[in-house]
Amino acid sequence: MEDKNKRTELSQLGEFGLIDEITKDFRCVNDSTLLGVGDDAAVLRPEKNRQVVSTDMLCEGVHFDLSYVPLKHLGYKAIAVNVSDIAAMNAIPKQVTVSIALSNRFSKQAVEVLYEGIRAACSQYKVDLVGGDTTSSRSGLVISVTAIGEVDETLLAQRKGAGLKDIICVSGDLGGAFMGLQVLEREKQGFMANPNNKPELEKYERIVGRQLKPEARMDIVHELRDFGVIPTSMIDISDGLASELFHLSKNSGLGMAVFEDKLPIDRMTYNTAVEFGLDPITCALNGGEDYELLFTIKQDDFGKIENHPDIHFIGYTQELEKGLYLVTKNKNVIPLKAQGWNHFNQQS
Amino acid sequence: MEDKNKRTELSQLGEFGLIDEITKDFRCVNDSTLLGVGDDAAVLRPEKNRQVVSTDMLCEGVHFDLSYVPLKHLGYKAIAVNVSDIAAMNAIPKQVTVSIALSNRFSKQAVEVLYEGIRAACSQYKVDLVGGDTTSSRSGLVISVTAIGEVDETLLAQRKGAGLKDIICVSGDLGGAFMGLQVLEREKQGFMANPNNKPELEKYERIVGRQLKPEARMDIVHELRDFGVIPTSMIDISDGLASELFHLSKNSGLGMAVFEDKLPIDRMTYNTAVEFGLDPITCALNGGEDYELLFTIKQDDFGKIENHPDIHFIGYTQELEKGLYLVTKNKNVIPLKAQGWNHFNQQS
């Protein structure tokens, strides 16, 4: 029996040994993957007439804090956020490549746990790991993922394409991942001030989960297909709703009106925002990393999904000159600002 | 007129500003690129029935030393080494994504110089920059590139596929990049010992260039097509000839015999190795980063390329049981060892 507590230094393995060890449990499931890891390049045979490619890099100390992010969750998240970009094109993810740089403070066992999360996400989203690079770094952990998806030309959704008076839709709820981060940061500060302080995370489980283990909304992509709805434009919410509305606006050449009382905010997110002295609406508008889908549909398609329990109709597109604004519960009109996640985070 | 010496801090721009600034000069040239930078994902329409995908990550302090590697060369090299992997599949590169993480010691101008090199390589190899990510890091510079290429199924070359008594070929010459690195390291040591020491690089220009600005041998890929030669197996030489021979051997299930007097070694590489007290043959066998192509051809194809000035016929494949060996000038047979570049480098 293998000793679970033993530590194998990366230097004992070398680059080739590590890659072999890590990739031996990965199996390719997609017909379009002809050859995965093991040659100078993977070999693919795309089956749809459009392919989409996205890439993201996560750096320790910037995008994640290993003092409260478990490595397995980090691996899962690295895949999920890239799959979310594929979902945002209304495409189906097929392949990923994963490159990691790590310093020698990581053991072989730590890398295996990271890849357990990667494998769990690949299995969840039915994507094949077809390549990557594993290298040492002088400092922290860096993870770079490239995701490849496929879509029929007729189903492709971009940031451009929204029409006038289209309905603006958002999946799930907003602000939860941001409030989860606030809870994690607070508990970390408490623990650093007094290591006997036990982190109180149970009562915040859902929003902490939104931060640590976000899901790409592939379920929404599949359901929209089932209902025969093709979004006229789409984007995933990584930097906050307001910021993403500006992207759709800029690319589609339209203004946007959204309604405060239509913004989907989970009860725990709402209560936690109040507890932290933050405005829940601001958290929903500017909190990042929810990885929900923001999209527009033609009014004719509204009836097809109006009863969907997890799609919310938050506003409509309008002439560009009218700008982007929020209509409050009191019918006041407030111009939106594209604060973005980083900026917002610095202020809080 | 813009002041060439001014320094713009990255924090003045933010992530979006930087990406916009950098990518505005990039133009897509390939028909298979329908949409480049600017949405959640790039949109491609592959035109051949096979696509190949490769990825590589370069880390400061591990893969490069900015005390002697100019940023422009680094950008060029990051693309070239990935294109080399596409070349090694006998495919034509079409798209790349580039993600970079950088600390705030880099200015906007430094990033622009890095991207000048990336743009020069994209232009040289006719590949489109279709995506990427720019983020801050807590420490050094990290560059992650994913390259996508296309090839007809009938032209695809892999590590497996070599036949018995195939001829082993190598392009260009070997060991130059490794000796260039030795020169750069020596001059750096001299400069650190006494900053008044001027680096003597002129007389080593060719091998220093091999290290700092390697080229992917796309010319060889195109010429083999022109001559009607399809390699039975192929790999690019990133870790040293011996290491790559082992990869072909393992994947094709064959032994290999190579001849000392057939190994292509440039005169400057040879003389510099002697000057450093190193064996030129060992440098050719185990020095990495030459990015030449190592491939096997059927004997019937020999006549088609026997007069090619830059393709060298260094040996033949044999039964697996015979192993991998070097036949010396004195007809001695020496078993090859797959030392690989890193290991070699640590010894020297």
Strands B33-35 and A333-335: unpaired
- Nearest CA to CA, how far is B332 from chain A (Å)? 31
- List helix spans (H) across chain A: 14-23, 71-87, 108-125, 176-193, 205-212, 218-226, 241-252, 267-275, 280-286, 302-305, 341-347
Give the CB-side neighbour count of residue B90, counting CA atoms within 13 A.
24
CB of B86 within 8 A of CB of B52? yes
- B93-125 tens-digit pLDDT: 999 999 999 988 888 889 999 999 999 999 999
Nearest CA in chain B to A47: B49
Inter-chain CB proximity A156 and B63 less than 8 Å? no
* Residues within 8 A of A (CB atoms), B 206-225 only: none
Integer Cα distance of A122 and A93 in angstroms: 10
* Residues within 8 A of A (CB atoms), B 229-258 only: 234-236, 251
Provide mean pLDDT across the span A249-253: 97
* Residues within 8 A of B (CB atoms), A 1-40 only: 14-16, 34-35, 38-40
Integer Cα distance of A159 and A142 in angstroms: 28
Of B43, B99, B160, Cβ closest to residue A52: B43
Sequence spans of domains, chain B: 10-155, 167-347
The CATH T-level fold of domain A167-347 is Phosphoribosyl-aminoimidazole Synthetase; Chain A, domain 2 (3.90.650)
Nearest CA in chain B to A160: B39
DSSP code at position B338: -
Integer Cα distance of B262 and B316 in angstroms: 12
**Any idea which of A189-193, A212-216, A259-263, A264-268 has the lowest mean pLDDT?**
A189-193
- A54-69 tens-digit pLDDT: 999 999 999 999 999 9
In this prediction the pTM is 0.92
Of A85, A146, A156, Cβ closest to residue B55: A146
CB of A47 within 8 A of CB of A150? yes
* Residues within 8 A of A (CB atoms), B 51-110 only: 51-57, 59-63, 85-86, 88-89, 91, 95, 97, 99-101
* Per-residue pLDDT at A12: 66
* Per-residue pLDDT at B59: 93
Using the predicted structure, report yes or no on whether residue B345 has a pLDDT greater than 50: no
Provide mean pLDDT across the span A313-328: 97
CB of B293 within 8 A of CB of B236? yes
Burial of A335 per CB tally in 10 Å (0-12, 13-18, 19+): exposed
- Residue A1 tokens read as 């029996």
- B180-212 tens-digit pLDDT: 999 999 999 988 888 888 777 889 999 999 999
Of A54, A144, A234, Cβ closest to residue B57: A144
Inter-chain CB proximity B34 and A14 less than 8 Å? no
Provide mean pLDDT across the span A19-34: 84
Inter-chain CB proximity B63 and A340 less than 8 Å? no
Chain B residues lying within 8 Å of A142, measured CB to CB: 57, 59, 101, 137, 142, 144
What whole-number percentage of chain B has pLDDT above 70? 93
Residues paired with B60 in a beta bridge: B64
Strands B255-259 and B324-327: parallel
A 10 A CB-CB count for A298 gives: 15
- A29 vs A15, residue with greater confidence: A29
Q: How confident is residue B342, by pLDDT bands cut at 50, 70 and 90?
A: very low
Using the predicted structure, report yes or no on whether residue B15 has a pLDDT greater than 80: no
- B229-278 tens-digit pLDDT: 999 999 999 999 999 999 999 999 999 999 999 999 999 999 999 999 99
Residues paired with A274 in a beta bridge: none
Chain B residues lying within 8 Å of A147, measured CB to CB: 41
Of B45, B54, B130, Cβ closest to residue A41: B54
A–B CB contacts, 8 A cutoff, strictly below: 203
* Per-residue pLDDT at A26: 85
Among residues A313, A308, A306, A260, the alpha carbon closest in space to that of A284 is found at A260
What whole-number percentage of chain A has pLDDT above 90? 77
The DSSP element (H or E) to which B123 belongs, if any, is: helix B108-125
Q: Which of B39, B52, B90, B160 to mutate to test the interface with A (most CBs of A within 10 A)?
A: B39
Strand ordering across the sheet containing B50-59: A33-35, A42-44, B50-59, B142-151, B92-102, B128-136
- B138-159 tens-digit pLDDT: 878 999 999 999 999 999 999 9
Q: How confident is residue A201, by pLDDT bands cut at 50, 70 and 90?
A: confident
Integer Cα distance of A265 and A263 in angstroms: 6
Integer Cα distance of B91 and A21 in angstroms: 28
What whole-number percentage of chain A has pLDDT above 70? 93
Reported ipTM = 0.91
Architecture of domain B10-155: 2-Layer Sandwich (3.30)
Using the predicted structure, report yes or no on whether residue A247 has a pLDDT greater than 70: yes
Token pair 């930097």 is found at: A239
CB of B96 within 8 A of CB of B145? yes
Of B35, B63, B86, Cβ closest to residue A41: B86
Inter-chain CB proximity B142 and A50 less than 8 Å? no
Give the dihedral of Cα atoms A251, A257, A258, A259; nearest 10 deg: 180
* Per-residue pLDDT at A2: 47
